[in-house]
Amino acid sequence: MAIHQLTFHPSAKTLSIPDGALLTEALRLAGLEIPLPCGGQGRCGRCAVVVESGTVRRRSMIRLTAADVEANYALACQSVIEADAVIFVPEQEKIERRLVTDKTALKVAVPFAYDAGRDQTVRTFPMTLPPPSLVDATDDMERLECALASCGVHDLDMPLPMLRELGACLRKSPWQATAVIETDNWRQPEGPPRLIDLVPGVSPFNAYGVAIDIGTTTVTVILVDLASGEVINSAAEYNGQIARGEDVISRIIYAGKNDGLGELGSLARGTINEVIHRLCQGSHIQSRSIYKATIVGNTTMMHLFLGLPPASIRLAPYVPTINNPLPLRASEVGLDIHPMAAVDCLPGVASYVGADITAGVLSSELAEAQGLTLFIDVGTNGEIVLGTQDWLVTCACSAGPAFEGAGVVCGMRATRGAIEEVWVNTRTFEPTYRVIDEAKPKGLCGSGLISLLAELFITGAVDKSGRFKMDLGTPRIREGEHGGEYVVAWAGETTTGNDIVLTTVDIDNLMRAKAAIYGGFTVLAKSVGTDLADVERVLIGGSFGKYLNVEKAVQIGLLPDMPWDRFHFLGNTAVFGAYQALLSRSARAKIKAIAKKMTYVELSADNSFYEAFTSALFLPHTDLAKFPTVAALWDKNRSAVPIGGH
Amino acid sequence: MAIHQLTFHPSAKTLSIPDGALLTEALRLAGLEIPLPCGGQGRCGRCAVVVESGTVRRRSMIRLTAADVEANYALACQSVIEADAVIFVPEQEKIERRLVTDKTALKVAVPFAYDAGRDQTVRTFPMTLPPPSLVDATDDMERLECALASCGVHDLDMPLPMLRELGACLRKSPWQATAVIETDNWRQPEGPPRLIDLVPGVSPFNAYGVAIDIGTTTVTVILVDLASGEVINSAAEYNGQIARGEDVISRIIYAGKNDGLGELGSLARGTINEVIHRLCQGSHIQSRSIYKATIVGNTTMMHLFLGLPPASIRLAPYVPTINNPLPLRASEVGLDIHPMAAVDCLPGVASYVGADITAGVLSSELAEAQGLTLFIDVGTNGEIVLGTQDWLVTCACSAGPAFEGAGVVCGMRATRGAIEEVWVNTRTFEPTYRVIDEAKPKGLCGSGLISLLAELFITGAVDKSGRFKMDLGTPRIREGEHGGEYVVAWAGETTTGNDIVLTTVDIDNLMRAKAAIYGGFTVLAKSVGTDLADVERVLIGGSFGKYLNVEKAVQIGLLPDMPWDRFHFLGNTAVFGAYQALLSRSARAKIKAIAKKMTYVELSADNSFYEAFTSALFLPHTDLAKFPTVAALWDKNRSAVPIGGH
């Protein structure tokens, strides 16, 4: 097989690559990470590089303009290496690796009157055993079992690797040892207790647990003292899978390629283990003393973490391998905690309503609500639950990642340099904006996009259908490559040296996203014969709620129009739910009951969602009666500044 | 670290070895296998090599005569490499690798009216599942569980590796699949059934099982069709651990060195897998279609196979890690059958009464005996069980490997060239002998040693205490290096070119071995207040019985003196017991009950064994009244040939 020589600039790295390999593969081997938000499908154009000399075979040139092609741009994920080449790799949007110390999580109190003896399934049992003799040559295992029987623990499940250590352990601190045992789990409440660790001696030691939320974008971990139930610390990190696809669909596609599944699994494990190590180091704790983990995440994240092929999640009729994984051991899934630790992946409901949502329902106490309550978790997807203590219905809207800044020309994640809020002057249409970390602006994050669109609508700069009014006489609104666009920041103000704009195409994306979510509300309410207006409380979970301005979200028709005091931001409800299930067998039983109780409404099953969606494809909605306060404000603005009155 | 150059003759192999390494290590690295019957303790002298040039540091010279040292002999296991050297490696006694097709096993009939549906725990369940749709998007796992529930299988235990295949498997032969399930096991008769395999489609296929006996010397495997219960084939092979020690004590010592435990485990697995592959090839069966294994062996063999450190077995109070291992999967123990296959290591009783003996009690039906019955299994150790249907007592005598030809100057295993039976002329003391495979003689195997000793005693060539009569006027009896010796075969008749002799030291070894076993009989009988004379049947298991001449064994006092029709040779009772437990849950329950019922008598706990042992250190015994037929024969010979009458 022919071997070609590749050189990458500006790093000047050189390596030999076999004929037929993809340029993305070569970049990976060279240690030059390049983001693949679309999962390497050639859809997003983010992996464009410049072929400075030599050639590559371009399998697809979609997303490249004629000028790009002229300038020898190529998409790395679509470029086959067939000759020596010199490649220029433009500086990529770096994912800023930062320690997200989630202050909400840190402030979390033990969520109920926690009694480890009653609530905790993982407990320590100090034991003093009678030493063996010629008249009592009972084997080590039976000797241990007898001692445990007197603690009420019977029929111990002893894994072979632990049995191999048993003899040495019992003799180290002669015939005194402390067992760490999972006394029961949701799968076998009456089943055999499982030995997790056996420590020589009877000196007390701390047993820890972790609650893990594997988000599509962010992995969050809470470190907990299992005896007191207290949170020791928490931390978060971007999910290492991001570079292989920004949304679940891109990752499912990536998982289907070669060893994509293995790679995505190890990226998720890598991120989780990195966060766990950081937490352990910060608290001077050995990761081996973490004996239990509960894990939540959407169904795709769970599949990728467990190494289950996710392909069927993407294809009708959207059937996952499993919603309710069986109890596991840490060594089976590669978690860097005690290898025998109990790992409990909490149950989900369907392919697009995962354990993150059931955990959210648990921690938000939706399942105990007296009145009609709406729970939403908008991340890359939008999952919605409507219900009371008596019933729960749920659906998932494929909103797409627009609210996370993807699919938008100047979109970006909510990190340093992101414009997070915008105000537009009603008369001049000049903007004022706030930037994360008060840095020079680089792009618009989700809350900035919602804020800007709402302002443009309320000020009359765009109409109900999201079209720009081109005759307002402001240089901010101009004709761009793909139709009208609004300039939020001029090139001179930005770190990129380019204008930051919101285009008509961007607005279309945002409107489709918000219409999908509002359409979901509508269908859910209709499915149980109720009305959104009857909702007494709206609980907002997930990172989305952290920066969201409800007023603006209502103005674009993303959230229903109702008094602000009905909205409650709950933070990362998913990881809070995992935390509760980590502590208490009754919380664990509750989440199982919740998953069973939730009725999943498949939006693609009939036309009602399509109708609700198209009705919502306006600002704020086709039916203005549903948004009385927005309608009133719009009318007020219109009367104050007559159109064409400049 | 200094590196030395070693050259081995006659192979002319050369290699570099770091200073301080053992010569045995160097031989292994050079691929020159050398047997270590004593486990590398410098006790047996079998690893002697010649230092042709250069030097080695001899840590011990025990077992080397002055002449040996003069001739530059060194024990490889005791030689530290400290300089360049040229080493001559004499040709070793090769372990003949032969297919021991155990004809007894092949003739075995299904041991009871076998009904797989009732008796077998591993069964196949063909299923047709309703295909998923938008209105029934039940996940794959729950769909499978529903289908199994209609077959009466609930709460399936699904291992993660199988869950990873589930989606593809159910879709391959769309929504038809056959599950192989262990519906229950001895540990959890009511516990969750365990999925072993899921095969696309519903075409019938055969499920197989293997019954395995890991003997100290020989590994035996029976391949069984689980549906009919019939034996497909059986085969045996020398245990690959032999080269690391011939008896269990040597292996326990070897296991304590560096990675000795890992090495012994992989040698045992290697032998088992080799036999399984041979059986599968011979019967055109995929080893992946073997779904169940039952394993027996003495407690040390079980520990080494499972990777459990055996050190405490050897040291008072002789406590093993476990007598009753928990159910395992093939992948956990490295068996080359279906990785999820159910592996059941049958229960033993104590450090020196293992699962091979409980399995022997099961298959010999001792536990159903009406009258007093003695069961013996003499291999490297001698295990004895005495009892009736109401009670069972057991003990183990460390007879040592004398009956397997070890510890005896011209001893060898029962392979080609071994003298297996000897007759000595009452007048001339000239021998007649029979050699295995009618080859030229090379040495004496166990049955040959017993036969020769009995003849020498009965003819009066040795006295009751095992001393040679030196005044018989035959050249066959002469003064050797260690006292009197008898020449069975002159150098000219043998393959070695040396005389084959039995020395006074050899006789001492044999007498200690037989006295240990007879002492065990005595103590067991006494412990339950009965007498050996009341024994109605003697059941002889193990390979020992295969070639044994009962008459001769009685004459030396190894077996009690009773009518020959009370002796029954049962062949490999251990593997037969494993075969029964493989087939039937009730046989499995029975062996568990047997292990529980057997009272272990520790011979070293008081003086009674020592007394019984020393009383038996004569031919046939101090108390001739216990051996009336032997006494009569001896008297007859004495009167026919007056001593000194030549």
Contact B539, B366 (CB under 8 A): yes
Q: Which of A144, A163, A305, A349 to mutate to test the interface with B (most CBs of B within 10 A)?
A: A163
Identity at B177, one-letter amino acid code: A
Give residue B478's Cα distance to chain centre. Answer: 36
Statement: residue A64 has pLDDT above 80: no
Q: Which of B140, B311, B318 sits opposite A319 (nearest CB)?
A: B140
User: Residue A147: CB partners within 8 Å, gap ≥ 6?
Assistant: A127, A128, A129
In angstroms, the separation between the Cα of residue A116 and the nearest Cα of chain B is 27
Decide: residue A365, CB within 10 A, 0-12 exposed, 13-18 middle, 19+ buried. Answer: middle
> To the nearest whole number, what is the mean pLDDT of chain A?
90
Q: Which of A133, A324, A602 sits opposite B317 (nearest CB)?
A: A133
Contact B144, B169 (CB under 8 A): no
Residue in this structure with the two tokens 């001895």, named with its chain if needed: B186
Contact A406, A451 (CB under 8 A): no
* Tally of CB atoms within 10 A around A150: 9
Using one digit for the tens of pLDDT, what is the confidence trace for B127-181?
999 999 988 999 999 999 999 999 999 989 999 999 999 999 999 999 999 999 9
Statement: residue A407 has pLDDT above 90: no
| Chain A neighbors of B157, CB-CB under 8 A | 326
Q: What are φ and ψ of residue B45, in 5° steps?
A: 75, 5
Q: DSSP string covering B43-74, please?
A: SS-TTEEEEEEEEEEES--TT--HHHHHTTEE
Question: What confidence category does residue A203 fall into, taking pLDDT thresholds of 50, 70 and 90?
Answer: very high
| Residue of chain A minimizing CA distance to B320 | A139
Contact B394, A137 (CB under 8 A): no
Between chains, do B163 and A333 touch, taking CB under 8 Å as contact? no
Residue-wise over A315-344: b if at least 16 C-beta within 10 A, else e? eebbbbbbbbbbbbbbeebbbbbbbbbbbb
Between chains, do B351 and A137 touch, taking CB under 8 Å as contact? yes
| Chain A neighbors of B174, CB-CB under 8 A | none
| Residue of chain B minimizing CA distance to A187 | B155
Can you identify the CATH homologous superfamily of domain A362-401+511-630? ATPase, nucleotide binding domain (3.30.420.40)
Q: Can you give A450-518 as a three-state secondary structure string?
A: HHHHHHHHHCCCECCCCCECCCCCCCCEEEECCEEEEEEECHHHCCCCCCEEEEHHHHHHHHHHHHHHH
In angstroms, the separation between the Cα of residue A317 and the nearest Cα of chain B is 5
In angstroms, the separation between the Cα of residue A315 and the nearest Cα of chain B is 11
Between chains, do A164 and B318 touch, taking CB under 8 Å as contact? no
Q: Which of A160, A307, A318 sits opposite B137 (nearest CB)?
A: A318
Nearest to B404 by CA among B433, B355, B444: B444
Q: Please state the rounded mean pLDDT for residues A313-332.
A: 95
Q: Which of B163, B319, B324 sits opposite A308 (nearest CB)?
A: B163
Residue in this structure with the two tokens 């609104």, named with its chain if needed: A477
| Chain A neighbors of B323, CB-CB under 8 A | 139, 141-142
Statement: residue A275 has pLDDT above 70: yes
Statement: residue A419 has pLDDT above 80: yes
Model pTM? 0.83
Q: Please state the rounded mean pLDDT for residues A292-312.
A: 97
Residue in this structure with the two tokens 């409380």, named with its chain if needed: A537
Tell me the C-alpha to C-alpha distance, in Å, between residue A431 and each of A460, A461, A478, A498, B549: 14, 12, 15, 17, 108
Give, for B342, the enclosing helix (H) or strand (E): strand B342-345
Q: What angle do CA A76, A81, A87 make, to 5 degrees?
A: 55
Q: How far is it, in rounded angstroms, from Cα B57 to Cα B42? A: 14
Between chains, do A134 and B309 touch, taking CB under 8 Å as contact? no
Between chains, do A134 and B160 touch, taking CB under 8 Å as contact? no
Q: What are φ and ψ of residue A338, in 5° steps?
A: -60, 130
In angstroms, the separation between the Cα of residue A163 and the nearest Cα of chain B is 7
- Please report how the helices B299-306 and B355-364 are oriented relative to each other, as an axis angle in degrees rounded to 10: 120
Q: Which of A319, A324, A329, A608 to mutate to test the interface with B (most CBs of B within 10 A)?
A: A319
| Chain B neighbors of A163, CB-CB under 8 A | 306, 308, 321-322, 325-326
The H-assigned helical ranges of B478-627 are: 504-527, 544-547, 550-555, 573-583, 585-597, 608-615
pLDDT of residue B37: 62
What is the length of chain B? 646
In angstroms, the separation between the Cα of residue B455 and the nearest Cα of chain A is 40
| Residue of chain A minimizing CA distance to B158 | A326
Q: DSSP string covering A242-281, please?
A: GGG-SSHHHHHHHHTSTTHHHHHHHHHHHHHHHHHHHHHH
pLDDT of residue A108: 64
**CATH domain B208-345 topology:** Nucleotidyltransferase; domain 5 (3.30.420)
In angstroms, the separation between the Cα of residue A166 and the nearest Cα of chain B is 7
Between chains, do A321 and B188 touch, taking CB under 8 Å as contact? no
Q: How far is it, in rounded angstroms, from Cα A36 to Cα A29? A: 15
Residue in this structure with the two tokens 């063996």, named with its chain if needed: A132
Q: Which of B155, B163, B322 sits opposite A322 (nearest CB)?
A: B163
In angstroms, the separation between the Cα of residue B600 and the nearest Cα of chain A is 10
In angstroms, the separation between the Cα of residue B461 and the nearest Cα of chain A is 42
Between chains, do A134 and B602 touch, taking CB under 8 Å as contact? yes
Q: Which range among A288-302, A490-504, B34-48, B82-96 shows the weakest confidence by mean pLDDT?
A: B34-48
Between chains, do B321 and A139 touch, taking CB under 8 Å as contact? yes
Contact B337, B396 (CB under 8 A): no
Between chains, do A350 and B140 touch, taking CB under 8 Å as contact? no
Give residue A165's Cα distance to chain centre. Answer: 39
Between chains, do B324 and A350 touch, taking CB under 8 Å as contact? no
| Residue of chain A minimizing CA distance to B303 | A164
In chain A, CATH 3.10.20.880 covers 103-200
Q: How far is it, in rounded angstroms, from Cα B267 to Cα A329? A: 29
Using one digit for the tens of pLDDT, what is the confidence trace for B2-39?
899 999 988 888 888 888 888 988 888 888 877 776 66
| Chain A neighbors of B308, CB-CB under 8 A | 163-164, 166-167
Give residue A493's Cα distance to chain centre. Answer: 32
Q: How far is it, in rounded angstroms, from Cα B447 to Cα B467? A: 20
Using one digit for the tens of pLDDT, what is the confidence trace for A154-195?
989 999 999 999 999 999 999 999 999 999 888 877 778 999
Tell me the C-alpha to C-alpha distance, in Å, between residue A456 and each of A408, A558, B584, B628: 16, 15, 78, 118
Q: How far is it, in rounded angstroms, from Cα A460 to Cα A463? A: 6
Q: Which residues pair with B329 in a beta bridge?
A: B342
pLDDT of residue A227: 95
SS3 A82: strand
- Tokens read off for B376: 């013996």
DSSP assigned state of B267: H
Q: Which of B134, B164, B306 sits opposite A307 (nearest CB)?
A: B164
Identity at B448, one-letter amino acid code: G
Task: Note the ipTM here.
Answer: 0.84
* Tally of CB atoms within 10 A around A186: 18
CATH of domain A210-355: 3.30.420.480
- Tokens read off for A266: 């190890």
In angstroms, the separation between the Cα of residue B259 and the nearest Cα of chain A is 14
The H-assigned helical ranges of A44-83 are: 66-70
Between chains, do A322 and B140 touch, taking CB under 8 Å as contact? yes
Using one digit for the tens of pLDDT, what is the confidence trace for A439-484?
999 999 888 999 999 999 999 999 999 999 999 999 999 998 879 9
In chain A, CATH 3.30.420.480 covers 210-355
In chain B, CATH 3.30.420.40 covers 366-401+511-630
Between chains, do A137 and B167 touch, taking CB under 8 Å as contact? no
In chain B, CATH 3.10.20.30 covers 3-88
Statement: residue A510 has pLDDT above 50: yes
Between chains, do B160 and A333 touch, taking CB under 8 Å as contact? yes
- Tokens read off for A332: 């089976």
Give residue A282's Cα distance to chain centre. Answer: 24
Q: Which of A164, A188, A192 sits opposite B307 (nearest CB)?
A: A164
Between chains, do B321 and A602 touch, taking CB under 8 Å as contact? no
Tell me the C-alpha to C-alpha distance, in Å, between residue A517 and each of A458, A523, A542, A545, A566: 21, 10, 15, 14, 18
Contact B187, B211 (CB under 8 A): no
What share of chain A in percent tops pLDDT 90?
A: 67
Decide: residue A204, CB within 10 A, 0-12 exposed, 13-18 middle, 19+ buried. Answer: exposed
Tell me the C-alpha to C-alpha distance, in Å, between residue A58 and each of A61, A80, A83, A544, B635: 7, 6, 13, 38, 105
Q: What angle do CA B551, B553, B558 make, to 5 degrees?
A: 140
Longest dimension (CA), chain B: 106
Q: Which of B133, B139, B186 to mutate to test the interface with A (most CBs of A within 10 A)?
A: B139
Q: DSSP string covering B101-155, please?
A: --HHHHTPPPSS---HHHH-SEEEEEEEPPPPBTTB---HHHHHHHHHHTTT--S
In angstroms, the separation between the Cα of residue B601 and the nearest Cα of chain A is 9
Q: How many Å is the Cα radius of gyration of chain B?
A: 28
Longest dimension (CA), chain A: 106
| Residue of chain B minimizing CA distance to A168 | B309
Can you identify the CATH homologous superfamily of domain B366-401+511-630? ATPase, nucleotide binding domain (3.30.420.40)
Q: Which of B139, B307, B605 sits opposite A320 (nearest CB)?
A: B139
* Tally of CB atoms within 10 A around B71: 12
Between chains, do B319 and A188 touch, taking CB under 8 Å as contact? no
| Chain B neighbors of A308, CB-CB under 8 A | 163-164, 166-167
* Range A3-88 classified under CATH 1.10.1760.20: no
CATH number for A103-200: choose from 3.20.20.70, 3.40.50.150, 1.10.10.10, 3.10.20.880: 3.10.20.880
Contact B166, A326 (CB under 8 A): no
Between chains, do A307 and B141 touch, taking CB under 8 Å as contact? no
Q: Please state the rounded mean pLDDT for residues A474-498.
A: 93
Nearest to A243 by CA among A270, A223, A221: A270
In angstroms, the separation between the Cα of residue B473 and the nearest Cα of chain A is 52
- Tokens read off for B485: 């010796």
- Collect the ranges in chain B with pLDDT lower than 50: 94-106, 641-646
Residue-wise over B423-447: b if at least 16 C-beta within 10 A, else e? ebeeeebebebebbeeeebbbbbbb
- Tokens read off for A621: 């909605």
Between chains, do A326 and B600 touch, taking CB under 8 Å as contact? no
In chain A, CATH 3.30.420.40 covers 362-401+511-630
Q: How far is it, in rounded angstroms, from Cα B513 to Cα A405? A: 84
